[in-house]
Structure 1
């Protein structure tokens, strides 16, 4: 049902694509469809009670763990801020405020995901719609960069200094609630395969005036509880019949996914500090168009 090669390729791809603004779910749908044969049969995420979906869930948990490991200092401060805020019934420090902003910003996608995840997956997670959504993701990235053309020089002033976590978190804590929730709500679009969660949240931050680094950082912090919760809710599937015969492959793919996610976030937090999203936008347009042509003419 799931070969070691399939597990390795999809696991490594998931870890990288989840954080790059190119949609991991989109690639998880398109790659098997483009390869065809047993890949298209075994790796079909839209099938009800799909073992492949259980496999993807395991990969998501590994990705979330990698994000927690990379941002562990930030999460210690943020969780500590949330706890002290609840105990003392106050919101005074930047850590306390950022913690509540993340909680509030996660609510919209959490509610929609619980209610409509099955519909999104079974209705939209098919190769042709996914290729179209991937192209739409590219357009969103390119349009956002065109809108910010005049701000490029401003971001370049912060190449080295703004990679500091605590300083970035202090700036993020200054967001107003409406902006934070608005950025978090953009993740709802990423329920459609082909739309990148990190990409759409980063664009949401840029539109609201955040620097490239701060927008990317906020998107990664937002992604952690969402990815972890989505994985945890379905992790039990791997202990049941859906996990039979694929648990070793799930473990193998999860290790590759976690390593890929860690390396990706380490690279992207520096890359996006002063570089454009355009390369990712062009890639999504070309990859989506190529997949669409291939799927309809072969």
Structure 2
């Protein structure tokens, strides 16, 4: 079966995916809701909940592009962390901050990896539908707003770093002190993002904040965690893109992936600065408005 994906569809979804993957507003949620809101051929062509969907092959390409953008942006940091992991294995030691943080990222990624392998198909085919997605997007907004409300009770955590201009290594030195159990718990929050409408970056940032991290450090940990998860998810599904599901749409996939990669790079560049001293509340309000508007539109259409 040859899929269909117009250049306009590929461009719009690719650009939105790149931005919304790292903003705490759920990229998968937008990939489900936008076609449903537009309707017509968009709704027919861009149905991610279909068991054998060419649109899924397209989403795979976008995820790989997003992961590459994250690797490029955090290139110096990943060189340092990978070197720490390699030296830790070779020397059979965990002594430096880089070694410890590298292992923390590995361990914190395992839970979502296992759940994704086992339950991704079921969750996608049953929950990646417009109405459940809109509901989850609204819940995502409530989580963001609730976290900021709780955070105001202990504003000193963020104010400690608000005026500092520091390197990633300095932030990573603090993250390396996070207890292993807490780090795994923060990483496990990504499991919630397997439901479309729940943001991976949003729930992990909130989990980090609630475990005592500054908003900036929580966001950085979230971005570092996202890189291997997004890349692995894309790599495991790459066969969909090279196989029959990718027939007829590969040029559009490349176009959308380019826009997605650029959008992701610009997003992470913006967010690493924005979240140093600004609230998640605007994103929470956006999620609530988008969710309510979508539900109303589905009800009256």
Decide: shared fold, TM above 0.5. yes
In structure 2, relative to structure 1, the CA distance for the partners of 1:163 and 1:56 (3 Å cut) is farther
Q: Aligned-residue CA RMSD in angstroms?
A: 0.9
Alignment partner, residue 77 of structure 2: 74
Confirm or deny that 1:296 pairs with 2:282. Answer: no
Q: Are 2:28 and 1:25 equivalent residues in the alignment? A: yes
Name the stretch that deviates more: 149-158 or 225-234. 149-158
Structure 2 stretches lacking a partner, 5+ long: none
Single out whichever of 26-35 and 159-168 deviates more from structure 2: 159-168
Aligned partners of 1:69 and 1:21: how far apart in 2?
Answer: 20
Length-normalised TM-score, structure 2: 0.98
Report whether the alignment pairs 1:123 with 2:146: no
Q: Give the distance between the partners of 1:295 and 1:76, measured in 2 at CA.
A: 47
Question: 1:243 deviation in Å?
Answer: 0.5
Alignment match, 1:267: 270
Instruction: Give yes or no for the alignment of 1:232 onto 2:235.
Output: yes
Give runs of aligned pairs for residues 209-248 of structure 1, distance below 5 A.
209-248=212-251
The Cα of 1:157 is off from its aligned counterpart by: 4.5
Distance across 2 between alignment mates of 1:47 and 1:113 = 17
Counterpart Cα distance in 2 of 1:164 and 1:215: 15
Query: Retained in 2: the 8 A contact 1:3–1:249?
Result: yes
Q: Deviation digits for residues 79-112 of structure 1, max 9, x if unmatched?
A: 0000000000000000000000000000000000
SS of corresponding position for 1:148: helix
Provide the C-alpha distance between the structure 1 equivalents of 2:258 and 2:17, rounded to a whole number of angstroms.
11
Task: Verify the 8 A CA contact 1:22 1:137 in the aligned structure 2.
Answer: yes
Unaligned ranges ≥5, structure 1: none
Report the Cα distance in structure 1 between the residues aligned to 2:254 and 2:12, rounded to whole angstroms.
13
Pairwise CA distance, 1:155 = 1.9
CA apart distance, 1:239: 1.0
Contact 1:15/1:259 (<8 A) preserved: yes
Answer whether contact 2:157 2:213 (CA < 8 A) is retained. no
Give the C-alpha shift of residue 156 in structure 1: 3.5
Note if contact 1:23-1:195 (Cα within 8 Å) is conserved in structure 2: yes
Aligned length: 298
Matches of 1:169 and 1:207, distance apart in 2: 18
Q: What is the CA distance between 1:272 and its match in structure 2?
A: 0.4
Counterpart in the other structure of 1:177: 180
1:108-129 per-position Cα deviation (integer Å, ceiling 9, x unaligned): 0000000000011000000000
State how far apart, in whole Å, the 2-side matches of 1:21 and 1:43 are.
Answer: 22
Residue 107 and residue 162 in structure 1: after superposition, are their counterparts in 2 closer, same or farther (change >3 A)? farther
Q: In 2, distance between residues paired with 1:162 and 1:170?
A: 15
C-alpha contact 2:157 2:212 (8 A) present in aligned 1? no
Q: Which residue of 2 aligns with 1:38?
A: 41
2:152 to 149, 153, 159: 149
Residues 124-148 of structure 1, C-alpha deviations (whole Å, 9 max, x = no match): 0000000000000000000000000
Moved more, 235-244 or 96-105: 235-244
